[in-house]
Amino acid sequence: MAYKREMTVVLVTIVIISLLSLLPPLLIGDLIDNAIPNENLGRVTLLGIGMVLVPLLNGGLGVLQRWASATIGEGIIFDLRCQLFGHLQRMSLGFFTATRTGELMSRLNNDVVGAQQAVTGTFVTLASNLVSVSATLIIMLFLEWRLTLLALVILPLFIGISRRVGRMLRTVRRRQLEQNAEMNALMQETLGVSGALLVKLFGRTKDEDHRFEQRAGSVRDLGIRQATIGRWFFMALGVMSALGTAVVFWIGAFLVINGDITIGVIVTMSFYLNNLYGPLSGLTNARVEFATSLVSFERVFEVLDLEHDIVEAEDAVVLGDVAGSVYFDHVWFSYAGHQGLQAVRRYGWSGVTDGDDGASAEQPVTWALQDVSFEVNPGEMVALVGPSGAGKTTSTYLLPRLYDTDRGAVRVDGHDVRSIALESLADSIGVVTQETYLFHDTIAANLRYARPDATDEDLRKAAATANIAEMIEGLPDGYDTVVGERGYRLSGGEKQRIAIARVILKDPGILILDEATSHLDAHAEALIQEALERVLEGRTALVIAHRLSTILAADRILVLAEGRLVESGSHRELVEVNGLYSSLYRTQFATEGNIGVEA
């Protein structure tokens, strides 16, 4: 069991501290009934020393207990965060396209901390108060059982109040966490470089201020409601405690007047009443806190309970030297069913629940790919062409298993990609996307993301091949230049060439290229095209073509429309067929240099 030693320390110190805290009332009672009436100064001195030693010992034990509970608490935060992060890292791309980053950050931060507080704060309070109440009751029963029973008359009131308040606060707490997640999502979207740029370009600063005020206002209102409910709760507990104390004092005074008990007993009992009602209030409050903390636990385990839809086979194949053959075997794929965090909201929610497919079963499936079959031979370059929404990008997502097919199979070197070890598949395929992503780090660190053990010489060679070495070496800090968030300190062409250099370092057998030269200037485009020619040499390539030059360089062209493969062949063959490709060629490509069919 994790943290067994620390948990033992917490429990032992709770018992000792609780027992030591019961001594002062006994010492005071003895002082009143024995030491003072008998004029025993030695006994008075010993009792005084005892009164000082008790808080000293309690203080030292409290420090030890705090160390142990903090170790457990911070350890739990660490464990849960690592579990959550690792679990989320293995979710498919579909999960992230359906989930806002701010919501995930809220689960990793607010919810994990809330769960930790339930274990360390609430648990320690619960255990401490339970021991204190039990020990106090035993001593009170020995001192005066009649007054003790009177003190317990109000116990049902404590329980009734805690149940009602616990339900109210749990509802408020869940809404708080949800509204915090909404606020975090808005901050993440608008305070990132891309979001901030969009807001400024469209002049929507005031609108975003208003949106944030609304969400922050919801968080504020829920915080006020929680605080108000909590204050009413503690007021009710205080009234109950005062009522119980008044009854005990009234009956106790009557017994003292009748000579049934001594003044020392009633004074001692008054101290123990505080020791009883204080922990009783704490137990009641702990129940309420535990109920609200359970919301955080639920939200953490909602995510951990999400099943991974991209799972490595038990007998997964590890690819050796990749020949590079690719085969799409009657592939069908739909984005339907890929859900984000909304799919896990099960507790107290209407709508999506486990096993509930909603209306999806009654609605026709929208297929992104329909019965697509084609083969790419080792070392061959195949261009994917088609109108927007034809399924080009979807096809490139299925090869590295960013998604899995619904029907049919995608094969690499004869192996179904679902049977290949995920790390081995990732090592075999290199991807250069149209929108290059760079970390807020140095150029060298971004390059080494492909191969952490790459030497400085390896970086220089890869950069030279990608036509970016001269630019990098001309910077004041060279390869140690920080590129900024998402690489925004670099131009589009520079980012793209760094992405190409990164793939060169990876040295994969299969390349997937989503050309990003259509919006670049002629010089940047020429540099990238030259770099791509070097990278493609001897490798299998699947290229989403945006330029005619790429299409003409391809060994074969695949034409997709509405998720179907409608044409396949060389540029000349497809133009002569006078089908979809011929139409696309005339409208999109023919203006590039006025290249005709003969090209």
Tokens matching residue 525: 């485009």
Q: Are residues 290 and 330 in the same domain?
A: no
> Looking up tokens 């829920």, which residue turns up?
222
Average pLDDT of 298-314?
A: 83
Q: What is the pLDDT of residue 355?
A: 40
For residues 313-326, b (16+ Cβ closer than 10 Å) or e, as one string? eeebbebeebebbb
| Tens-digit pLDDT profile for residues 344-390 | 554 443 333 344 444 444 557 789 999 999 999 998 999 999 888 88
Residue 341 counted as domain residue: no
**341: pLDDT strictly greater than 70:** no
Which of 517, 524, 437, 447 lies closest to 481 in space, CA to CA?
447
Residue 270 counted as domain residue: yes
Q: Are residues 91 and 161 in the same domain?
A: yes
| Tens-digit pLDDT profile for residues 449-460 | 888 899 999 999
Q: What is the pLDDT of residue 349?
A: 36
For the chain, what is the domain count?
Answer: 2
Angle at 323 between CA 322 and CA 325, to 5 degrees: 110
**557: pLDDT strictly greater than 90:** yes
| Tens-digit pLDDT profile for residues 73-87 | 788 888 888 888 888
Q: Are residues 270 and 384 in the same domain?
A: no
Q: Are residues 372 and 465 in the same domain?
A: yes
Residue 268 counted as domain residue: yes
| Tens-digit pLDDT profile for residues 19-60 | 887 787 778 777 877 777 777 888 888 888 888 888 899 888
**Residue 287: band (very low, low, confident or very high) from pLDDT cuts 50, 70, 90:** low
**Residue 435: band (very low, low, confident or very high) from pLDDT cuts 50, 70, 90:** confident
230-239, 421-430, 462-471: least confident range: 230-239
Name the helix (H) or strand (E) containing 431.
strand 429-432
**436: pLDDT strictly greater than 60:** yes
Instruction: Write the CATH number for 212.
Output: 1.20.1560.10
Residue 597 counted as domain residue: no
| Tens-digit pLDDT profile for residues 121-165 | 677 777 777 887 788 788 878 777 787 777 777 777 766 776 677
The contacts found for 69-73 with CB under 8 angstroms, 24 or more apart, are 69/6, 69/10, 69/120, 69/124, 70/120, 71/3, 71/6, 72/3, 72/6, 72/7, 72/10, 72/119, 72/120, 73/116, 73/117, 73/119, 73/120, 73/121
Q: What is the DSSP string of 102-116?
A: HHHHHIIIIIHHHHH
Per DSSP, which regions of 457-591 are E strands?
510-514, 540-544, 556-561, 564-569
- List of residues 6+ apart from 506 with CB closer than 8 A: 427, 430, 450, 451
Average pLDDT of 298-306?
A: 81
| Tens-digit pLDDT profile for residues 508-540 | 889 998 865 554 566 666 777 777 777 777 889
Residue 398 phi/psi, 5° resolution?
-75, -30
Full domain range(s) for residue 531: 326-334+365-589
Q: What is the pLDDT of residue 419?
A: 93
**Residue 408: band (very low, low, confident or very high) from pLDDT cuts 50, 70, 90:** very high
Q: Are residues 426 and 463 in the same domain?
A: yes
Residue 596 counted as domain residue: no
Residue 339 counted as domain residue: no
Name the helix (H) or strand (E) containing 326.
strand 326-333
> By CB neighbour count within 10 A (0-12 exposed, 13-18 middle, 19+ buried), where does 477 fall?
exposed
Q: Are residues 274 and 330 in the same domain?
A: no
Rg (CA), the chain: 35
Q: Are residues 48 and 184 in the same domain?
A: yes
Q: What is the 3-state secondary structure (H, E, C) of 480-510?
A: HCECCHHHCCCCHHHHHHHHHHHHHHHCCCE
**233: pLDDT strictly greater than 50:** yes
Q: What is the pLDDT of residue 69?
A: 82
**596: pLDDT strictly greater than 60:** no
Q: Are residues 296 and 370 in the same domain?
A: no
Q: What is each CA distance from 162 to 159, 227, 269, 286, 287, in whole angstroms?
A: 5, 15, 26, 9, 7
89-98, 308-317, 442-451, 500-509: least confident range: 89-98
DSSP 8-state class, residue 420: B
| Tens-digit pLDDT profile for residues 348-360 | 433 333 444 444 4
Q: Which residue has the higher pLDDT, 471 or 534?
A: 471
Q: Which residue has the higher pLDDT, 591 or 234?
A: 234
Q: Are residues 111 and 39 in the same domain?
A: yes
Residue 419 phi/psi, 5° resolution?
-100, 0
Q: What is the pLDDT of residue 599?
A: 36
Q: Are residues 300 and 375 in the same domain?
A: no
Q: Are residues 270 and 410 in the same domain?
A: no
Instruction: Write the CATH number for 417.
Output: 3.40.50.300
Q: What is each CA distance from 181 to 175, 245, 488, 523, in whole angstroms?
A: 10, 45, 27, 45
Q: Which is it for strands 407-412 and 540-544: parallel, antiparallel or unpaired?
A: unpaired
The whole-chain average pLDDT of the chain stands at: 79
